[in-house]
Amino acid sequence: MTSNQWLQIIAYFVVLLALAIPLGIYMGKVYENKPLFLSKLFGWLEKLIYKLGGIHPEKEMDWKGYALSMLLFNIVGGLILYAMERFQASLPLNPAGQSAVPPDLAFNTAISFITNTNWQFYGGESTMSYLTQMAGLAVHNFLCAASGMATLVALIRGIVRKETKFLGNFWVDMTRGTLYILLPLSLIFTMILIQQGTPQTFGNTVNASLVQPTSYDQPVTTAAGVPVTVDGKPQMTHVVVTEQPISLGPVASQEAIKMLGTNGGGYFNVNSAHPYENPTPFIDFLELLAILLIPAALCFTFGSMVKDHRQGWAILAAMFLLLAPMLYICVQQEQAGNPLLNKLTMGTHGETLADGNMEGKEVRFGIVNSSLWASITTAASNGSVNAMHDSFTPLGGMVPMWMIMLGEVSFGGVGSGLYGMLAFVILAVFVAGLMVGRTPEYLGKKIQTYEMKMASIMILIPPLLVLVCTAVAVATGGNGTNNPGAHGFSELLYAFDSMSNNNGSAFAGLSATTLYNLMGGAAMWFGRFWLAIPVLAMAGSLAKKKAVPESAGTLPTHTVLFVVMLISTVVIVGALTFFPALALGPIVEHLKMVRM
Amino acid sequence: MFKEIAVQVKNSILFVAVFTVLCGLLYPVGMTLVGQLVFPKQAAGSMIVVGGKTVGSELIGQPFDDPKYFWSRPSATSPFAYNASNSSGSNLGPTNPAFISGIKANVDAARKANPDMAAAPVPMDLVTASASGLDPHISPAAAEYQAARVAKARHLDPAKVEAFIAQNTQGRWLGFIGDPGVNVVKLNLALDELK
């Protein structure tokens, strides 16, 4: 790595930390219902929402009530979104005349957006109307992020509170999270995006006259769409193109929440690689910050709510240390480039982007920002991309795959990342307890059979989904892959890895089939809610317990020793589960590449 | 239990409705109004207008293959290169034989078009497809690689072409964030204006 690359990465993490600390402490106040500066501005709106929604904010819920609200809310939201996609052709704000989304794709997309996955088996600018994008997809970008944070906050309350069954009110947590955290950040970010060049308009596609006209050969077809052949060869016509159709839309407002809520569903097909979604290096830097901002800040929210900031720091340190070595490998591999191409260009292992693996990358981001993005978008469950992971070098592309395989706990999704990590914390505390022969406890609460069962479900469900779905996809012929051999397998493994863990990034060469749409939809659903329900069950059980006073036998959970325990637990579970699958995909492809 | 579920379903429907109005209508419409008022050019897509005619966007690349123009990077959009209504990368894997032979063809074409640079390595970005298929930039190295060809085709002093490249280069933010890129459409338009 060059000194400039080190500098860019260090600057990124320093600024991230500087922003995450105050935001995290502020978010703690939001969820502890403390008075805020913003509640002077938006307090009336908060009250109005409760009134319109028929909610009694002072009424707290037990874990079952909380879970029921969360589930029903997501089911209702998903059904409405599905209907909006199916009927978009007859709804307003559709200047480009997009037709109804097919049922299997609409199913997949609806689940994708309510589960914070934002997997996209479609190209936005060629599939979705303006209305579906902004009043359907973008609304769920807010709501599923708020829902993830609410679930986490319920778990934290379960840890903090003693001998009660109440965990808070789901509707209040949703409203406050959206109104006081997500919306204000999005408002600011949208304005910066527009200033830098991201469009925000309801105008239709603009046809620009090309500076130099271009042309292409198109197969001739009959009226029924059958290709015409002459002497067995398909007949072609030469089409001259003088105009470039430029798709526009209300992009900036959607881009802001897509980055902040670890959603990642792009307005355009190529996501944040599109010059309109991500116009400049400055915006790229801000979008990178937005990916990890809330997941990192939540560690400080956790610290302030449990009244021990060392606990938040310890978890943040573990998250960072899981990411850092992978980030290094990714940058190093992409800069070293593809030896098969270097042979052709007579290039060397140089230090500029003109020497690295530039297939599927944009010049303004270069090697380092493309690799940084790939690593952190999969560490967090954002899943947006600014480069095509499918065209990364084998080991460079294995990094995002591996970060997802860890279960989206190194930062992870807003809310879901930290509650996933807390499941690993409980497992680590339990393992440590077995070693020294004491009843495990965490932050003054005894960890017993019930908590262990719930944590185990949370840790085992995603790998099960990944491996079963990939196996089914391969056994049914592995259709739709864009590349032959080991790389085709990697495309399938990445797809179900990404969907089961609610990430949403892709080896995007893979095409949708009805099977993938339906199976993937199911994987996203279970990957989200079969984790969220055990979290709430665990929260309910912890809240009922008495506090155990700290004693000499208590394992401190803020020490370097514990951070190492925690990292080892996450890595061992991930490595044992996925090493065989990785050996069949990226590892074998790497060995093939260096010997070709 | 059923009564409880019925109440929660009602709450859910109301809640989705309220937030659809707030986050799905008021927020984007409000941002559009403010955005178009404060930054009208950017909100409409940063279009380049020459003589009353829109000839492209400052942020979206275009295809070139005339020797007198600087060439953009290869683009994987369909059905034609730089289709800004269908952004796409190639998504070809690093060991795919079709990918390697495609790059070989691009390298051969680049060498043939730039005989003055026969001894130099071909800049990687000039022969590989970008992520979006719409990349407006090429690296300074890729511009240097083509400078002699463009100067000859236009009968211009090479130093003048170099100056144009420098003028149309977007540097790193704060001098160290991102990578420098030469805006191909803006550079070619500037050269055309010279006549």
- Give ipTM to 2 decimals: 0.96
pLDDT range class, residue A552, cuts 50, 70, 90? confident
Do A114 and A242 lie in a common domain?
Answer: no
- For residue A551, the model assigns a pLDDT of 83
Which of A125, A129, A143 has its CA nearest to residue A86? A129
Do A158 and A242 lie in a common domain?
Answer: no
| Separation of alpha carbons A71 and A12, rounded Å | 36
Contact of A272 with A384, CB cutoff 8 Å: yes
Which residues of chain A does B88 touch, with a Cβ-Cβ cutoff of 8 Å? 123, 269-270
User: What are the backbone angles phi and psi of residue B30, rounded to the nearest 5°?
Assistant: -60, -45
Average pLDDT for chain A: 94
Residue B152 C-alpha, separation from nearest chain A C-alpha, in angstroms: 19
Looking at the predicted structure, is the pLDDT value of residue A346 above 90? no
DSSP one-letter code for B170: E
Domain count, chain A: 2
Q: Please calculate the CA angle A589-A592-A596 and round it to the nearest 5 degrees.
A: 140
CB contact under 8 Å between A388 and B9, yes or no, is no
Residues 6+ apart with CB under 8 A from A387: A273, A360, A361, A362, A365, A370, A371, A373, A374, B131
Contact of A395 with A338, CB cutoff 8 Å: no
Between A and B, how many CB-CB pairs are < 8 A? 400
Which residues of chain B does A395 touch, with a Cβ-Cβ cutoff of 8 Å? none
Which of A350, A349, A366, A368 has its CA nearest to residue A358? A366
CB contact under 8 Å between A275 and B136, yes or no, is yes
Do A83 and A157 lie in a common domain?
Answer: yes
Read off the tokens for A301.
């929210």
- For residue A225, the model assigns a pLDDT of 77
Read off the tokens for A595.
């010997």
Q: What share of chain B is helix, strand, coil (3-state, %, to 5)?
A: 50, 10, 40
Which residues of chain B does A174 touch, with a Cβ-Cβ cutoff of 8 Å? 15
pLDDT range class, residue B166, cuts 50, 70, 90? very high
Which of A280, A288, A482 has its CA nearest to residue A362? A280
The answer to whether residue A214 sits within a structural domain is yes
| Separation of alpha carbons B63 and B57, rounded Å | 13
Question: B56 burial class (0-12, 13-18, 19+ CB within 10 angstroms)?
Answer: buried
- For residue A590, the model assigns a pLDDT of 96
Do A42 and A167 lie in a common domain?
Answer: yes
Do A193 and A60 lie in a common domain?
Answer: yes
Which of B96, B139, B176 is nearest residue A8 as measured by Cβ atoms?
B176
Residue B136 C-alpha, separation from nearest chain A C-alpha, in angstroms: 8
Integer CA distances (angstroms), A432 to A426, A437, A441, A564, in order? 10, 8, 10, 12
DSSP one-letter code for B131: S
Question: In terms of CA atoms, which chain A residue is nearest residue B34?
Answer: A191
Residue A258 C-alpha, separation from nearest chain B C-alpha, in angstroms: 13
Residue A567 C-alpha, separation from nearest chain B C-alpha, in angstroms: 31
| Separation of alpha carbons A498 and A488, rounded Å | 15
Question: In terms of CA atoms, which chain A residue is nearest residue B39?
Answer: A195
| Separation of alpha carbons A573 and A464, rounded Å | 12
| Separation of alpha carbons B26 and B22, rounded Å | 5
Average pLDDT over residues A91-101: 92
Which of A7, A123, A252 is nearest residue B86 as measured by Cβ atoms?
A123
Average pLDDT over residues A64-75: 95
Average pLDDT over residues B47-52: 94
Read off the tokens for A193.
């995006």
Interface of B with A in 78-107 (CB under 8 A): 79-97, 99-100, 103-104, 107
The answer to whether residue A210 sits within a structural domain is yes
Which residues of chain B does A200 touch, with a Cβ-Cβ cutoff of 8 Å? 28, 31-32, 35-36, 43
How, if at all, do strands A233-234 and A236-246 pair?
unpaired
How, if at all, do strands B53-57 and B47-50 pair?
antiparallel
Which of A138, A118, A148 has its CA nearest to residue A383? A118
Looking at the predicted structure, is the pLDDT value of residue A349 above 70? no
Q: Which long-range contacts (C-beta less than 8 Å, at least 24 apart) are formed by A89-94?
A: A89/A129, A91/A129, A91/A131, A91/A132, A92/A131, A93/A129, A93/A130, A93/A131, A93/A134, A93/A202, A94/A129, A94/A130, A94/A131
CB contact under 8 Å between A210 and B89, yes or no, is no
Which residues of chain A does B124 touch, with a Cβ-Cβ cutoff of 8 Å? 337, 341, 345, 347, 353-358
Which of A214, A246, A360 is nearest residue B60 as measured by Cβ atoms?
A246
- For residue A350, the model assigns a pLDDT of 66
Do A85 and A170 lie in a common domain?
Answer: yes
Question: A106 burial class (0-12, 13-18, 19+ CB within 10 angstroms)?
Answer: buried
Do A37 and A136 lie in a common domain?
Answer: yes
Which of A142, A174, A362 is nearest residue B132 as measured by Cβ atoms?
A362
The answer to whether residue A279 sits within a structural domain is yes
Helix (H, G, I), strand (E, B) or coil at A198: coil
- For residue B195, the model assigns a pLDDT of 67
CB contact under 8 Å between A126 and B85, yes or no, is yes
Question: In terms of CA atoms, which chain B residue is nearest residue A390?
Answer: B91
User: What are the backbone angles phi and psi of residue A571, rounded to the nearest 5°?
Assistant: -70, -40
Q: Is B155 in CB contact (< 8 Å) with chain A?
A: no
Do A213 and A105 lie in a common domain?
Answer: no
CB contact under 8 Å between A54 and B14, yes or no, is yes
Contact of B116 with B148, CB cutoff 8 Å: yes
Model confidence pLDDT, tens digit, residues A246-275: 999 999 999 999 999 999 999 999 999 999
User: What are the backbone angles phi and psi of residue A244, rounded to the nearest 5°?
Assistant: -105, 115
Amino acid at A278: N
CB contact under 8 Å between B124 and A200, yes or no, is no
Which residues of chain A does B47 touch, with a Cβ-Cβ cutoff of 8 Å? 206, 208, 246
CB contact under 8 Å between A244 and B121, yes or no, is no
Question: In terms of CA atoms, which chain A residue is nearest residue B179?
Answer: A364
Integer CA distances (angstroms), B25 to A53, A563, B29, B30, in order? 18, 45, 6, 8
Amino acid at A224: A
Average pLDDT for chain B: 95
Model confidence pLDDT, tens digit, residues A280-298: 999 999 999 999 999 999 9
Residue B130 C-alpha, separation from nearest chain A C-alpha, in angstroms: 5
CB contact under 8 Å between A353 and B131, yes or no, is no
Which of A77, A354, A368 is nearest residue B139 as measured by Cβ atoms?
A354
DSSP one-letter code for A510: P
How, if at all, do strands A206-219 and B169-170 pair?
unpaired
Question: A437 burial class (0-12, 13-18, 19+ CB within 10 angstroms)?
Answer: exposed
The answer to whether residue A135 sits within a structural domain is yes
How, if at all, do strands B137-138 and B53-57 pair?
unpaired
Interface of B with A in 42-71 (CB under 8 A): 42-48, 53-66, 69
| Separation of alpha carbons B195 and B191, rounded Å | 8
CB contact under 8 Å between A391 and B93, yes or no, is yes
Which of A210, A279, A589 is nearest residue B95 as measured by Cβ atoms?
A589
pLDDT range class, residue A348, cuts 50, 70, 90? low
Average pLDDT over residues A186-196: 97
Q: Which residue has the tokens 């079963």?
A: A468
Which residues of chain B does A210 touch, with a Cβ-Cβ cutoff of 8 Å? 55-56, 62-63
Model confidence pLDDT, tens digit, residues A438-473: 889 999 999 999 999 999 999 999 999 999 999 999
Do A224 and A122 lie in a common domain?
Answer: no
| Separation of alpha carbons A538 and A473, rounded Å | 34
Model confidence pLDDT, tens digit, residues B139-162: 999 999 999 999 999 999 999 999
Q: What is the CA radius of gyration of chain B?
A: 23
Which of A4, A53, A202 is nearest residue B11 as measured by Cβ atoms?
A53
Contact of A409 with A424, CB cutoff 8 Å: yes
| Separation of alpha carbons A258 and A290, rounded Å | 9
CB contact under 8 Å between A52 and B176, yes or no, is no
Do A212 and A171 lie in a common domain?
Answer: no
Domain positions in chain B: 2-43, 47-193
Range of the domain at A224: 206-246
Phi-psi region of A222 (alpha: psi -120 to 50; beta: other; left: phi over 0): beta
The answer to whether residue A334 sits within a structural domain is no
- For residue A219, the model assigns a pLDDT of 85
Do A103 and A39 lie in a common domain?
Answer: yes
Do A121 and A266 lie in a common domain?
Answer: yes
Which residues of chain A does B6 touch, with a Cβ-Cβ cutoff of 8 Å? none
Q: Which of B75, B96, B191 to mutate to test the interface with A (most CBs of A within 10 A)?
A: B96
Question: Does A410 or A221 have the greater pLDDT score?
Answer: A410
Residue B159 C-alpha, separation from nearest chain A C-alpha, in angstroms: 22
Question: B190 burial class (0-12, 13-18, 19+ CB within 10 angstroms)?
Answer: middle
Q: Which residue has the tokens 């032979």?
A: B101
Model confidence pLDDT, tens digit, residues A108-165: 999 999 999 999 999 888 899 999 999 999 999 999 999 999 999 999 999 999 999 9
Residue A545 C-alpha, separation from nearest chain B C-alpha, in angstroms: 26
User: What end-to-end distance do the CA atoms of chain A give, in Å?
Assistant: 25
| Separation of alpha carbons B14 and B64, rounded Å | 53
DSSP secondary structure letters along B55-119: EEETTS-----STTS--------SSSTT-TTS-------TT-HHHHHHHHHHHHHHHHH-GGGTT
